[in-house]
Structure 1
């Protein structure tokens, strides 16, 4: 069995790698190629390109990379023509993966979406693309499985693979103990993309400094995704350009690039594990915060125009996936953003702030409460533990692998891939 994977984000790379490992455990003859990152390569996939190095956000940046992605599209098309994989498996990353799906369908290849894009949150019209180009969706969230099925997309709910991945992680427990010793720890998670770090550095810095002023002895540990993000964070937050330290310093004891702030690279799981509480940008990391049962504040700073845009397109109350899971999913007529003064504020397990204003005082208030009041922190931890237990996601990657293998077998028994009719190349760009 030959499978083609396409994953563009670091989290998608991890999910794809986990799925491939489980598939190969079921059948050692499974081969794989495609687009992904280092984890997918380690799992045995022959990469045509490392897409995790080229993640883009917003239309302006995506437009600048159009030629690059069009060339990748043509490479995928050539691979489908010459190698005829048994199935194409997409993981999130919808902008480029729509292109891959279209190329695959032109050659009659079955296309599956694993960890589908969250179009239910902001771009519901794109369900038309799911119906047109995706043969089967393997949903990670119970409410999204229902949503896709109700809109004519064949869907199987398998659970989210994040808990399996985190349970399998080999933690450096000695490092965790060193960080945790000596008083409370605030772990800051500024994101894995350059744009996220740039947009959120100021608000995260102001919030954490408020916490440091209010809680004597608290230490700020920053989990930078790459070394350049540490320098980028300091430059954006303070206006200073610090010299980069050696890689080993970031990975071992960390680098104190700001007074009271220590920056690390490649230590995100350990820093979350060692934290008393966390301050994070919005993203898939919220699932890891849930898994580790860490009280956390979620932030996402955008400009006024982007705030106006999200008000027009957002179709869910929360930007944090864990809050959606805690507060009943998608069926909510109240789409007003989280407000700590709202009567229903306590329904969100992670206080979240999508804003263009300075909300650092509100954000810091939650963190200071958890750090100063052990009972308040214990209540937050209990809520997270209860939600984690309710989700029961252990074994999701194995369930997904079995479901994917069965779907591939069904398609192999009913149809054979065909070349495009009349020599069509399908090299045009996708439209809505």
Structure 2
């Protein structure tokens, strides 16, 4: 079985690697090629290109990279013609992956989208691309199957969120955690995001919020959970000389979340990790002013953080607060969130201060997070997706494996 993967985000790299391993376990030899990252390469995928440096957000950065994307798309088309894979598997990265899907469809290659884009949130007219180009749409969130099927994507199947597979398989570094167990100072973890652009846009504001927290709660210390050594160096450069009780630690995000009393994070898939650890957290996402106002008029839902979207009474309320309107935190919101182009450091800090000073309030939030975790963090998405591919996309491979 030969599969072509197109993956462009660090989180997608993780999900792709887990899926490749599940397919190998269930079907034996899997020839995986395409676009991805270091985790997929370690799982046996032959990469045409490491996409780590193309994980970008925002209109202007995307425009700057357009020539590179066009060149890459031409290379993908050539590879599809030369390799003739049994199927193309897309994970996240819709801006580029729609074009890959169109090329594959034109060549008669089945297309699987593992983790459909959140079209219910904004620019939902793009669901037409799912109908036209995606043969096997697989969704991650419970409410998405009904929504996509209601939009004419009848083959949509809910497989669960693959991030929980990784979280359930994690083994925390207990030796590393020992240093926090015997320290009387409580820890606030700062998570500046997995993309370089996120660190560049958000980290300085997170440090500003940390200073406000430290001023109100002096007996606290901070740890920055950097995605890798390169981003740790970037964070250190942005931080410069400082007087905060703060350390920058690469590659230990799960341990720092586990050890923290609360977290200040840049919104993204990390919200699911924070939910898994039932960790009170406040989310922010700083945008360029033009991007903010474009999003404000396009986004159809009130929240950007997945647990908040899952707990909202109505996904599309009659009077939708497009993107954000003010800084209202509704009672059902588990992770207060602040996406804006303006400085929201004071609001971000206020939540961390509340959890550090009001233990009953913090514990009540922990209880609510644990309740949602019990219904959402089911795990098994990688296994279910591998089964789906073997049963519905390339069933001849499964038959051969059983015969052997």
Same fold (TM over 0.5): yes
CA displacement, residues 330-385 of structure 1 (integer Å, 9 cap, x when unaligned)? 2423432568975x712100011112223222222211111122211110100000
Of 197, 200, 203, the residue aligned with 1:198 is 200
Matched, 1:366 2:367: no
Shift of 1:234: 5.0
SS at match of 2:120: helix
More displaced 10-residue stretch of structure 1: 27-36 or 220-229:
220-229
**CA distance in 1 between partners of 2:326 and 2:362 (Å):** 16
CA displacement, residues 283-339 of structure 1 (integer Å, 9 cap, x when unaligned)? 110000000110000011223322211111111110101111122462423432568
Equivalent residue, structure 1, for 2:253: 268
Matched, 1:381 2:382: no
Map 1:126-137 onto structure 2 (within 5 A): 126-137=126-137
Matched, 1:189 2:204: no
**CA distance in 2 between partners of 1:68 and 1:340 (Å):** 38
Equivalent residue, structure 2, for 1:172: 173
**CA distance in 2 between partners of 1:385 and 1:172 (Å):** 22
SS at match of 2:143: helix
Equivalent residue, structure 2, for 1:394: 379
**CA distance in 2 between partners of 1:78 and 1:282 (Å):** 36
Matched, 1:229 2:214: no
**CA distance in 2 between partners of 1:199 and 1:335 (Å):** 27
Equivalent residue, structure 2, for 1:423: none
CA distance 1:325–1:411, shift in 2 (3 Å): farther
Conserved? CA contact 1:349–1:384, under 8 Å: yes
Map 1:287-326 onto structure 2 (within 5 A): 287-326=272-311
Shift of 1:401: 1.3
CA distance 1:280–1:230, shift in 2 (3 Å): same
Shift of 1:66: 2.2
CA displacement, residues 404-426 of structure 1 (integer Å, 9 cap, x when unaligned)? 2212136999xxxxxxxxxxxxx
Matched, 1:144 2:144: yes
Conserved? CA contact 1:179–1:271, under 8 Å: no
Equivalent residue, structure 2, for 1:335: 320
**CA distance in 2 between partners of 1:164 and 1:303 (Å):** 34
**CA distance in 2 between partners of 1:225 and 1:327 (Å):** 30
Structure 1 unaligned regions, length at least 5: 243-256, 414-432
CA distance 1:161–1:235, shift in 2 (3 Å): same
More displaced 10-residue stretch of structure 1: 76-85 or 64-73:
64-73
Provide TM-score, normalisation by structure 2: 0.92
**CA distance in 1 between partners of 2:4 and 2:60 (Å):** 29
**CA distance in 2 between partners of 1:303 and 1:109 (Å):** 39
Equivalent residue, structure 1, for 2:34: 34
Conserved? CA contact 2:202–2:286, under 8 Å: yes
Conserved? CA contact 1:316–1:330, under 8 Å: yes
Conserved? CA contact 1:317–1:334, under 8 Å: no
Equivalent residue, structure 1, for 2:13: 13
CA distance 1:173–1:301, shift in 2 (3 Å): same
Shift of 1:202: 2.9
SS at match of 2:339: strand
Equivalent residue, structure 2, for 1:163: 164
Conserved? CA contact 2:226–2:250, under 8 Å: yes
CA distance 1:50–1:268, shift in 2 (3 Å): same
SS at match of 1:44: coil
CA distance 1:231–1:47, shift in 2 (3 Å): closer
Equivalent residue, structure 2, for 1:93: 93
Matched, 1:215 2:200: no
**CA distance in 1 between partners of 2:346 and 2:78 (Å):** 54
SS at match of 1:35: strand
CA displacement, residues 7-64 of structure 1 (integer Å, 9 cap, x when unaligned)? 1000000011111111111100222111101111111111111112321222322222
